[in-house]
Amino acid sequence: TTASLLSVFDGNGVTADGHLVPLLANVGGAADAVKAAAAGAQGVGLLRTEFCFLERETEPSHEEQIAAYRGVFDAFPGKKVVVRTLDAGADKPLPFLTDATEPNPALGVRGYRTDTTSPGVLERQLGAIAEAAKDTSADVWVMAPMISTPAEAADFAAMCATAGLTTPGVMVEVPSAAVTAESILREVAFASLGTNDLTQYTMAADRQLGPLAALNNPWQPAVLELVRLTVAGAESEGTGKPVGVCGEAASDPALAVVLVGLGVSTLSMTARSLAGVGAVLATVTHEEAQKIAKLALSATSPEEARRLAREKLPILAELG
C-alpha cells in the first residue's frame, strides 16, 4: 500500500542496488529546517536566504543574519547545509538590492548580479555566514545564484575564500552556465542545478505566466539535455565535483529518477516530497535509472519524455 511504501523511507535516498542519493531539503528559514529534519531530510540543499528577509526595506544587520542562518544550522547538526546567497530580483524583489522599475527583471540585475550595483552586501553576507558557521557542527557550503560565466564563479570563490568559507559553489540555472559547466567547475567545489530558472531561461518563458506553463516544464527535452551537459562538464573537469539538483524537478518522483540517471548526485526538494521520491528511487537500480534517462532524452516533447519515464516506473500507479 501507499502508506507502507512511504513508511519504509528512512531519510536516506538509495536505489535498489545501493547507489546513494542523499535527499536534502529546500528551506526558507529555521522553521522550515526543523520540519525538514523531522521529515527525514539528510541536510539542506538550498537555504533561500532572501526568504529570511523578504519584508525588509534595509539590509539586515550582521547579528540578524547570524541568527537567521544559525537557526537553520542548529536543525542539522553534523549535516550538510547549502546556503544560497541572496537571490533578490525578478519574482523576489528586495527593496535594498533591486530596482523595481527595471523593464525586464528576469533578465535584469538579480541574484549574484546585484553585487555590481550594491557592492558590499554580498561580502557582508558571506561574513555573517562564516560567523554563524563557527559555532555549529553543520557542514556549511555556500553557493551563488544566477552565475552566468566562469569569471563570475571565480570571483565568487575568491570572495568565499576571503570570508573563510571553504566550500564555494554555484547554481546552474542560466543556460550559459550549463554550457560552460566544465570551466565553471574548475573555479568552484560544486554545482547545483536550479531547474526552475534553467527551464524559464532555456524556454524563454516567464515562470510566473500561466499561459506559458506548457513551455515552462522541466520535462522539456532541451532542459534535460542541459542537465546532461552540466553533468558531462563536471565529469570532464575531472576531479569528481558533485552536481546536485535543487529545483522543483527534484520533487517529481519520475523526474527525480531521470535526474539520477543523468548523473546528478543529490536531490533537494520541499520536505513533503522526500518520502515519495525516496520510495520511487528505491524501486530502480542505478542502471535502470540511466536507461530511463536515455528514454526521456530521446523524446521530442515533455509529454512524451514524462510518459516514457513513467511507463518504466509501475510503483507510481500505486503511489497515486
C-alpha distances in Å from residue 197, one per residue of 33, 167, 221, 312, 320: 23, 23, 15, 28, 28
Task: CB nearer to ligand PEP: give 15 or 168.
Answer: 168
* Per CB under 5 A, 115 contacts Mg ion: no
Q: Residue 195 binds what, of Mg ion, ligand PEP, none (CB under 5 to 8 Å, by partner type)?
A: ligand PEP
Task: Name the catalytic one among 246, 250, 254, 313.
Answer: 246
* Per CB under 5 A, 194 contacts Mg ion: yes
The distance of closest approach from Cβ of residue 87 to ligand PEP in the complex, given in angstroms and rounded to an integer, is 6
Given the C-alpha cell 547554481, which residue does it identify?
171
Of the candidate residues 32, 59, 115, 173, the single one contacting Mg ion (CB under 5 A): 173
Contacts 24+ apart (CB under 8 A), 119-122: 121/59, 121/86, 121/96, 121/97, 122/85, 122/86, 122/159
* Per CB under 5 A, 187 contacts Mg ion: no
Helix/strand number for the chain, H first, E second: 15, 8
Instruction: Compute and round to an integer the Cα radius of gyration of the chain.
Output: 19
* Per CB under 5 A, 197 contacts Mg ion: yes
* Residue 253 neighbours by CB distance under 10 Å: 22
Of the candidate residues 115, 152, 173, 252, the single one contacting ligand PEP (CB under 6 A): 173
Of the candidate residues 125, 195, 202, 266, the single one contacting ligand PEP (CB under 6 A): 195
Catalytic residue at 246?
yes
* Per CB under 6 A, 273 contacts ligand PEP: no
C-alpha distances in Å from residue 34, one per residue of 41, 74, 209: 10, 9, 32
Binding site for ligand PEP (CB under 6 A): 46, 48, 87, 173, 194-197, 246-247
Q: Would you list which residues are annotated within the binding site for phosphoenolpyruvate?
A: 48, 84, 196-197, 207
Catalytic sites, residue numbers: 246
